[in-house]
Chains A and B, each alone.
Chain A
Amino acid sequence: MQPSERRNQTQTIWQQQYESGNKRTIWAAMKRLGPYLEGLKLRWFFGMLAAVGAGIMALSIPQALGSVVDNIESDDATTMVVWIGGGIILILGIIEAVMVFLRRFLVLPPASDAETSMRTTLFNRLIFQPAAFHAAWDAGQLQSRAIADLNMLRRFFAFGSIMIVTQSVTIVVGFTLMFINSPLLAAIFLCAAIPIMVLGPRFRMKFIHFSRSSQDKAGDVATKVEESVHGIRVLKAFGRGDHARHDFRREAGQLRHLEVAKARTLASFQFLMILLPEGILAFCLLTGLWQVGQGTVTPGTLTAFFATAVVLKQPIEGIGMLLSQVFMAKTSLDRHIDVMDIEPAIVSPDEPKTAQERGLVQLHDVHFRFPDQKSSDRDLIDGVTLRIEPGETMALVSHTGGGTSTLLNLVPRLYDVTGGSITIDGVDVRDYSLPDLRSRITVAFEDPTLFSASVRANVLLGTGHQRDDDDPSHPYRAAAPSDEQLDEVLTSALHTADAEFVENLPEQVDTRIGEEGLSLSGGQRQRLALARAIAPNPSVLLLDDPLSALDVRTEERVTERLREVLDGTTTLIVAHRPSTVALADRVALLHEGKIADVGTHTELLERSELYRKVMAPPRPSGQDLMNSVAEEVRP
């Protein structure tokens, strides 16, 4: 799919989601989480109690301290007063530490379980979404939903939600204590608390704004770096290093300014956060001392007030942050639910049909267009009717971008036809259950995606290798190789695809390849992808220009071997060069979305001007020729 189409589609999906997310209340959103939170509820409650307990202990310690001071200062004080005071402080202190420990201990494991199960459920949902969905949703987008958003939710459940309750309780209890002991001082202190609670979230919003834009900018800087490194040859060849550096400096400079602006916001915030409460406390000190002079307040009470104020400072500052966490959690939750709510468009029918496997593929007036193609454009596939007999090899030929690759995708229902139908052995592909359908068909894609796993696992992807016994997507098939035959299948598939280079890898077929392992050349990957398609012994084999990255000699060998293997397997092969067409019994020429002609290669060469144009002389791979000629010339 073209990126522009992709973007449009993404936009519409984003719009939908924006609307649905807005409509949902936070409670409705939380309710959706019910199943995940089952094990969490009770422990969360106790965790909350522990946190409240810890908060109350923190508040009690100053109170106890105040009374100890008052008692010690009284004239009849004995050592007993000190012992009791110390004992109380000790017990409270121990309880506080234990409570803090308990909160984490109680809440964290179930919250992580909830996070993990949401994550795996999300994955499970996404993996069944059809290719069209994944074309619209960038993997990075989905990835951030699976990691960052769910981390955010875990933090909210394990920390934010509990702290909101706890800190609210702490603030209320703290102020109550203050009011009981010294109402005047408490009233003054409250004056500082209110602007802090109001200003806190506002500053936070501003800060978040800056930190988001600087994150974006950091992304831009990274892109510049990436391009300057990947395009270093071009930059060097044209001497445009300075030009690139100029661009880079501009971006990096902007990043620097954003970061500084962010820090300035933080600095002003910090300034207020220190000055407001401390300034008010200075005023409290003045008032308190005056009250002591009047005899309305004891020194112990004054002590207790200051100790309590210190304890309260943190929750007062923090409550704004916690409230903004609620909004962030809500956003994350919405993002999660919105993806979960999209029903996969391609699923097995309720009552699947099946048929004896023979390999007859028929296309009846097949139409296909991408959902956001311009309405004035004709369908990309505009009424293709074609019959491929069991065991026949049919080549599909067209100009680049003529729709042949798309046509292949329709057979195993990676995309669904938008008109007409495709039948296999007489049954519409949409009437098969997906596992049944897809176990009959294998595909070698033009762009060979391999996974980070051993060569063995990659080639045996379509077989029973490394599957659960009850894997529902691996139904029984008479023609499929049994688990005992897999080694043999692997060897012969690798042989057919001329992928014997595997023998020279450090651990042969057990060598890890892909992202985390050895990287292979395009030609090597293509051969493995071909082996992968052959291995399950399908009745219908779809090959999308499978030899394009191979040099002439390898291609010859592979063609030779494929011809033997393909005998008896219905094969549709997208071909761009005569050497690939040579594999086919017949050739179908696709032009402007329709079948323009069907016949053998020779017939078409003779009668079709169009075919001759598309199949014009083979591109001599110059390097190969040079190599082979050099071998001849040299003595």
Chain B
Amino acid sequence: MTQTTRKNTTENPAPEYSEVPQQATQPPNPSDTGGGTGTAGQVDPFAHLRGTAGEEQIDLNKEERKFIRRRSWRLLVRTSKGVRLKLLMTALAVVVAQAAQASTPMIVGALAIDWGIPRILEGNAMGMWLPAVLYMCAALTAATLLFFYTRMTAEASQFMLFKLRDEVFRKTQELSLDFHEDYTSGRVISRQTSDLESLRELLDGGVNSLVQGVMFMFFTVVTIVLMDPPTILVLCVAAIPVFIVGRWYQRNAEVAYRRTRVSSARMIVHFVESMTGIRAVQAFRREHARSRQYKKLATIYRNDMLRSISLLGILQPSLMLIGNLSVTAVLLWGGFRVLQGDLGAGVLVGLVLATKRAFQPLDMIAMFYNSLQSATAALEKVSGLLEETPKVREVQNPVRLPEADGEIEFHQAEFKYNDDGPVVLKTLDLHIPAGQTVAVVGRTGAGKTTLAKLLSRFYDVTSGSLTLDGVDLRELSEEDHKRHVAMVTQEAFLFSGTIRDNIALGRPDASEEEIIAAAQAVGVHEFIMNLPEGYDTDVNKRGGRLSAGQRQLVSFARAFLADPAVLILDEATASLDLPSEQLVQQGLERLLGNRTALIIAHRLSTVAIADRVLVVDEGRIVEDGSPQQLIAQGGYFSKLHEAWEATMSS
């Protein structure tokens, strides 16, 4: 992209790398309307619109609107790379095709009747053959070129859509988690689905019919001018009411359309909630009340929809009326001139036919405006999302680390989410030798998860360093980092597909035996074999069929298969019930093996298997030692241990 401020930060890695995150993007914050996120004191007047920040803003001034428009336009131009020649050819094709189509009334009127008939009557066969052959040529040209036009526009627009889809997908995957924490999944999904859908609709239907319609009109008008220039005056006069009616329709249609969308959404929410919550509806005897409410919503929807359709019901006959009045005017005026001998009767026929045809595409053009608007809005949002830059990125010449032992070192590491934010992790020096199992305990918000996030490089330290086997994580190649460090989170997310697919996600090239071995290692093999189709069982959407514990075990198997040197477990056992916890416990121990492990612990059972416990409070480590040492020391951990013991024996 062309924003210079952004370029500076992205092409300027290495030494002050830790400075980059703050410069790259401000976290999207709609309320942040003040300017100035640019580098080197440059004030960026559109800072509040960069990225996704401006998405929710409705009242934009002219300059701002222009800025966003230009961004969308640039995106379109960029995605068109590779199909530009094709687009040019489609433009040519449609121009010629519509010219050919529009010429037919002229061929019938001026050529056949006025020029041909006198010659035929003189016995000249040319008068017969020329118009017919020309007509045939026009038909063939129009049909063939439109054929190519339709194909090529689809190919080009689908090419562009594919590129956009892929780019949005890549961007969302690439963006750091802090972005995803602010920008909800729903919004990402609607960028990818409904926004691109409205763009598709525009490219697919709207633009197609618009271009064809406009060209058709244009050439019809041209033929009128060619046949009889004065007639164009009639059309000019007619253009005034057409314009007024068109504007009226656009304005109202936009409002009506939005209203219908709102009322249909309300109706749908009510419907779906009633059906999915049927047990509550029936248990609390709300059948009649909800029915009545639905009727009310359905009636509002009906009225809004009717209003929206009625607009079209007024637009169409109005345009038709204006068209027919124009035809009458052309006929009258032309008729008198025929009588006076100024105009051929055939030309008059051609003029009348052409006038009638000139009005045909008008309602389509009026309707096109709506789809153009929603597509523009969509493109604005998509281009905003694509403008976001990830805070964490790979350096240009990353250090490779083919094998890792799993030695971790925090050196004077500090972390805060943004410049003015509080320090979440205070200056930390921590060495974890390879193979050690470390449990981290502490209060809510003490900074336990921050350790995990830094280690898995969801974020980078703001100052100091964090190394794996002596290599700074920021220098380490992304591929090697992901291979050596894996994280299992509390919510064991399963993707749709089979159990096998889900385990194989840990290492896509694993063999069947390795997958089974991984499942056996964490103790989930038996369970999987009891499923209807074993490893081929479809886990359904969001892993609905498995209990939380079973899902967690599958995700353990996934991690086992990935075989990382460093394993991070973020409250991985927190959502399990007791039997599952016992089940998982054995799996967990097998999973840990000789790996370096950082366990954000919630359970005593998990802490019990740790070599070392870190107690974190207010962003620093307040206790550090083996469980036995800490219990003996009599600090936080010993109290915690006591409390745990107490609950166990009650």
Contacts and interface: CB of A to CB of B under 8 A. Distances in A.
A180 interface: no
A226 interface: yes
Given A127-B278, A233-B489, A252 B162 contact: yes
A86 B332 contact: yes
B82 interface: no
B132 A93 contact: no
Nearest to A460: B284
A202 to B, nearest CB: 18
Prevailing SS type, chain A contact patch: helix
Contacts of B349: 65, 69, 303, 307
A467 B275 CA distance: 19
Interface residues of B, number: 175
Given A101-B314, A115-B302, A228-B172, A147 B505 contact: no
Contact of A100 (B140, B298, B306, B320): B320
B175 to A, nearest CB: 9
A223 to B, nearest CB: 7
A237 B488 contact: yes
Contacts of B266: 516
A580 interface: no
A123 B291 contact: yes
A415 B555 CA distance: 35
A285 B278 contact: no
B345 A69 contact: yes
Contacts of A79: 336, 339
A143 B349 CA distance: 53
B154 A259 contact: yes
B585 interface: no
Interface stretch (B231-239, B421-429, B430-438, B575-583): B575-583
A468 B287 contact: no
A93 B325 contact: yes
Contacts of A85: 331, 335
Contacts of B339: 72, 77-79, 82
Contacts of A369: none
Contacts of B139: 274-275, 278-279, 281-282
A628 B647 CA distance: 13
A80 to B, nearest CB: 10
B119 to A, nearest CB: 9
Contacts of B581: 619
B353 interface: yes
Contacts of A445: 279-280, 283
A441 B613 CA distance: 50
B640 interface: yes
Contact of A245 (B135, B143, B166, B441): B166
Contact of B273 (A237, A245, A515): A515
B117 A289 contact: yes
Contacts of B223: none
A620 B442 CA distance: 15
A253 B332 CA distance: 58
B108 interface: yes
Interface stretch (B21-29, B34-42, B598-606): B598-606
Interface string B162-191: 100110011011100100100001001100
B306 A237 contact: no
Given A94-B321, A94-B324, A235-B173, A225 B285 contact: no
Contacts of B508: 240, 243
Contacts of A255: 162
A348 B547 CA distance: 36
A584 to B, nearest CB: 17
Contacts of B406: none
Nearest to A463: B284
Q: Across chains A and B, which 5 residue pairs bring their CB atoms closest together, nearest first?
A: A239-B482, A93-B324, A263-B154, A278-B139, A622-B602
Given A115-B302, A123-B271, A131-B282, 10 more contacts: A61-B356, A81-B335, A89-B328, A97-B320, A221-B192, A229-B185, A281-B135, A452-B269, A473-B287, A628-B643
6 contacts: A97-B320, A225-B189, A239-B482, A260-B158, A262-B154, A285-B131
